[in-house]
Amino acid sequence: MQMYSESDVDTSCLADSQITILGYGSQGRAHALNLKDSGFNVVVGLRKSGASWAKAEADGLVVMEPNDSVKTAKIVMFLTPDMVQKSLYESVVDDIDTGATLMFAHGFAVHYKQIEARSDLNVALIAPKGPGGLVRRQYEEGHGVPCLVAVDQDASGDALKIALAYSAGIGGARAGVIETTFAEETETDLFGEQAVLCGGATELIVAGFETLVEAGYQPEVAYYEVMHELKLIVDLLHEGGLRKMHKFISDTAAWGDMISGPRVVDESSRAAMKGILTDIQDGTFARNWIAENQNGMPEFKRKMQADLDHPIEKVGADLRSHMDWLED
C-alpha cells in the first residue's frame, strides 16, 4: 500500500495554472471552494441555464460556460453526475488545451469506457472518501477527507504529481492519499455504496422497523431504535473501529451483537454480496444503469418514490421536527 501525505506533495506544478471544475453540486462546490482557499486559480464550468450558476457566482467564483471554461485550463475536473460525463466530454473535448489533465472523483466513466480520452491528455483520479459537504467542512476546520489517487493515462509523465497537488488543494493530503487504479476505485466504490453504505444499511433499517411495527410495537419507538440511534454507533465506528464501539456499548449489547449479528448477515447475505460484486466487475451493473438513464429513468423514479413513501419517512419527519437543531 502506497500512502502520500502533505509532505510528499509539491504543489508548485500547479502554480499560476487554471483548474476548471465542471459541475457545482455536492463535490463540485467543495472542491472549487477548497482549491480557491488554498490559493489556486479556479474556474467553474456550468450551463448558464442551470440552477448552480447563480450559486457559484454568489460563492465568489469565476463561472463560465463549459466550452469557455476549459480553454486555458491545466486541469479539467469532471464533477457532474457520472451519467452525463460522456456527453459533456464530447461537447468540450475540442476546446481542451493540448497536454491538459482530465480528472475525476469517481472512475465510472473512464473504467467503463464511456470516455476514451485524447492521447495527449493525462487522465487521473482523486476520489474523496466522503460526501462533498464533509470535504468542505473538514477543510474549513483544518482537517481533510482521505482520498484515493489513480492515473489511467500519463501523457506528460507527471500526472501523479499533478493529481497529488490537486488532492492537497482540497485538503485530502492532510488525511492521507492512497494509490489505487481506476478499476479498484470504481469497483470498490460501487460495491460499498450498494452492499453496505447505502443499499445494505437502509435495507437493514427498514427491515428492522417493519419487524418491530408488524409485531405491534409503536412506530415512533421503532424509529428511534433502528434509525435515530444508528448515528451514535456509526460515530463510534468511524472514530475508533469495533474496539471503540465495544468500549461504549453495554455488555448486554455486545453479547447480543456477537450472537445475533451473524444470524442477520449469514451465508446467504454473503452470497448476495458476491453476486453484487460480480455484476459490478463484469459490467452488468454499469450496462443496466446506463440503459436506465437512456430510457428516462422510469425504474429509478418508481423505486425512489417507494422509498420516500415508506411509513418510516412519515414517522421520522414528525419526530425530527421536535429536534430543530438537526439539519434537514
Active-site residue set = 106
Tell me the CA distances in angstroms from 236 to 160, 229, 246, 248, 249, one per residue in order: 34, 12, 9, 8, 10
Determine how β-strand 3-4 pairs with β-strand 177-179.
antiparallel
* Cβ(124)–Cβ(185) below 8 Å: no
26 binds ligand NAD (CB under 6 A): yes
| Footprint of ligand NAD on 214-273 (CB under 6 A) | none
* 200 near ligand NAD, judged by CB under 6 A: no
How far apart are CB 124 and Mg ion at their closest, in Å?
Answer: 17
- Nearer to ligand NAD by Cβ, of 66 and 219: the residue is 66
Cβ proximity to Mg ion: between 82 and 189 the closer is 189
- Residue spans of alpha helices (H) in 282-325: 284-294, 298-308, 311-320
Q: Which of 9, 21, 24, 162 binds ligand NAD (CB under 6 A)?
A: 24
Asked if 117 contacts 153 with a C-beta cutoff of 8 angstroms, the reply is: yes
The Cα–Cα gap between 196 and 204 comes to 10
Residues 80-99, interacting with ligand NAD (CB under 6 A): 80-82, 84, 88
Return the residues of window 168-207 that contact Mg ion according to CB under 5 A: 189
Pick the closer one to ligand NAD by CB: 133 or 262: 133
From the list ligand NAD, Mg ion, none, pick the one residue 146 interacts with, judged by a Cβ distance below 5 to 8 Å according to partner type: none
Cβ–Cβ < 8 Å for 16, 75: no
At position 72, the amino acid (one-letter code) is T
Cell numbers given for 254: 455486545
CA dist list (Å): 91 to 26, 67, 215, 287: 23, 8, 56, 22
Distance (Å, whole) CA 134 – CA 129: 10
A 10 A CB-CB count for 212 gives 17
Of these, 35, 42, 46, 173, which contacts ligand NAD (CB under 6 A)? 46
Tell me whether residue 152 or residue 189 sits nearer to Mg ion (CB atom).
189
Residue 22 interacting with ligand NAD (CB under 6 A) = yes
Q: Which does 169 bind (CB under 5 to 8 A by kind): Mg ion, ligand NAD, none?
A: none
> With CB under 6 A, what is the number of residues at the site for ligand NAD?
24
249 in Cβ contact with 257 (< 8 Å): yes
Q: Is 52 in the site for ligand NAD (CB under 6 A)?
A: yes
Among 6, 8, 17, 25, binds ligand NAD (CB under 6 A): 25
Contact by Cβ (8 Å): 17, 41: yes
Count Cα neighbours of 300 within 13 Å in the Cβ-side half-sphere: 10
Query: In the stretch 114-153, what mask flags binding to ligand NAD with x, by CB under 6 A?
Result: -------------xx--xx---------------------
Residue 189 CB, nearest distance to Mg ion (Å)?
A: 4
Residue 148 CB-density burial (10 A; 0-12 exposed, 13-18 middle, 19+ buried) = buried
Does 27 interact with ligand NAD (rule: CB under 6 A)?
A: yes
- Residue number, nearest CB to ligand NAD: 25
Instruction: Please report, as ranges, the residues that interact with Mg ion according to CB under 5 A.
Output: 189
Instruction: Please report, as ranges, the residues that interact with ligand NAD according to CB under 6 A.
Output: 22-28, 46-47, 50, 52, 66, 79-82, 84, 88, 105-106, 127-128, 131-132
